Amino acid sequence: MKKKLKNCTLMALTLLFVLVLCNKTNTAMAQSETELYDMVWRIVNSKFLDQNSNGQDWNKWRNKYDDKIKTPEDAYVAIDTMIASLNDRYTKFVPPKEFEEEKSMIKGSLYGIGIQIGLRDGKILIISPLEDTPGDKAGLKAEDEILSIDGISTKDMSVEKAADKIRGKKGTTVKLLIKRKGTENKTYSIVRDEINIKSISVKLPENFKLDDKIGYIRLSSFMGKHSGQDFKDELVKLKDKEGIIIDLRGNTGGLLTNALDIADLFLSDEIIVSTVDRNNYKETAKSGRSFISDQHLVVLINKGSASASEILSGALKDNNRALLIGESTFGKGLVQEVKSLTPFGAGLNITVQKYLTPNGTDINKKGIAPDIEVKLTDENIKAKDDVQLKKAQDVLLQMIKNDKMTANR
């Protein structure tokens, strides 16, 4: 009897110990996730561009969620709700899984169909398909609206959730219902693959013959760590050409340093871009380190050209170094800083500055207008008739001709 009583007592003590341990674990988890929320808030309060945002009331948000954060998911919801109040679609909390994928993209590869998406007016839009990816080969275009993913409506869906559904294992298929202006809605079945982020290409559109006097470089992304150097290597190969076409169509941006490095190749001791922070502190980046080309220059832009693409094209335009041909750019003139939320494995992309072109133009939501507007219609695309590239070549040839006429006078 005593032995049974002893065993019961031991079991009771063990159970009590487990309950206490579980309670301590849950408490520690709650404190940990609350610390994550606090960390994000401290960054927002000290870094976010708009100090007058409604989201800046620390006590309001802190008191609202202080006793409700018990799990990582609770913290994520609280953080997302708080960030939504900032009214800035580019500031976002990135959970651990997505943050790892972002870092993979910078390193150079990921799995999916190769499209970059964004949220505008509550709609999930394709900003641009990456060149030679499944999405590009399937015929997806900038400004296409994604209505559903595998039959699930994107209404009220976040960009992060949409991206998560589009990504997947190599060889699997994702179905996107696409709405495109002027056409009927269409379902695209696209097989996922490994996406190698290639920044530089000299591949010309099919059936296009480039004049021997002209060189062509397509820059599809500023994301790669070595995009600036890769561009320089290609430019050096074209040193004997009299004119250069830089194709930034569909380039949604990437690392600011790459835009500065490439602008440096064409400008000498001139302003490339200025940034203004929340305290109206202005910093100006000037060229002068790597100038190697004084060739005639034309830059191709369209509505898929954003961020770093707008910095480069704006710098070349305002300094009268290049003519811009095509359509007005996307209009993303904000600087994001990527913060690693150690030790939680998550990240925070936060808007900390805005860009100004050398002439002081704020491009956010307005974009940069081309010097010569040339629209690429659906009919042009179907006929594989790149009228923008043709115009760029014609303009360069005329510049070269004018130079020779002037020299012969």
Domains of the chain: 31-88 (3.30.750.44), 111-196 (2.30.42.10), 200-407 (3.90.226.10)
**Looking at the annotation, which residues are catalytic?**
307, 318, 332
Q: Is 143 exposed, middle or buried (0-12, 13-18, 19+ CB in 10 A)?
A: middle
d(CA 30, CA 33): 5
Give the list of residues 6+ apart from residue 338 with CB closer than 8 angstroms, or none: 102, 347, 348, 349
What pLDDT score does 81 carry? 86
Please list the alpha-helical segments (H only) found in 265-377.
Answer: 308-318
Q: Position 226: which residue type?
A: H
User: Please, what is the angle between helix 159-166 and helix 96-107, to 10°?
Assistant: 70
Give the list of residues 6+ apart from residue 86 with CB closer than 8 angstroms, or none: 44, 48, 50, 53, 54, 55
d(CA 215, CA 143): 29
d(CA 174, CA 166): 6
Give the list of residues 6+ apart from residue 85 with CB closer than 8 angstroms, or none: 53, 54, 55, 61
d(CA 87, CA 54): 8
What pLDDT score does 14 carry? 37
Ordered per-residue pLDDT tens for the chain, 409 residues: 444 434 444 444 433 343 333 343 443 444 577 888 889 988 998 899 987 764 455 556 666 666 677 788 888 888 998 898 888 888 999 888 888 877 766 655 577 898 888 888 889 999 878 778 899 999 999 889 999 999 999 998 988 789 889 988 889 999 999 999 889 999 999 999 988 767 888 888 778 899 999 999 999 888 877 889 999 999 999 999 999 999 999 898 888 899 999 999 999 999 999 999 998 899 999 998 788 999 999 999 999 999 999 999 999 999 999 999 999 999 988 888 889 998 889 999 999 999 999 999 998 888 999 999 999 988 888 788 999 999 999 999 999 999 887 776 6
pTM: 0.70
Rounded (5°) CA angle 341-225-219: 125
d(CA 108, CA 39): 29
What pLDDT score does 188 carry? 97
Which two three-digit tokens encode residue 284?
Answer: 């100006």
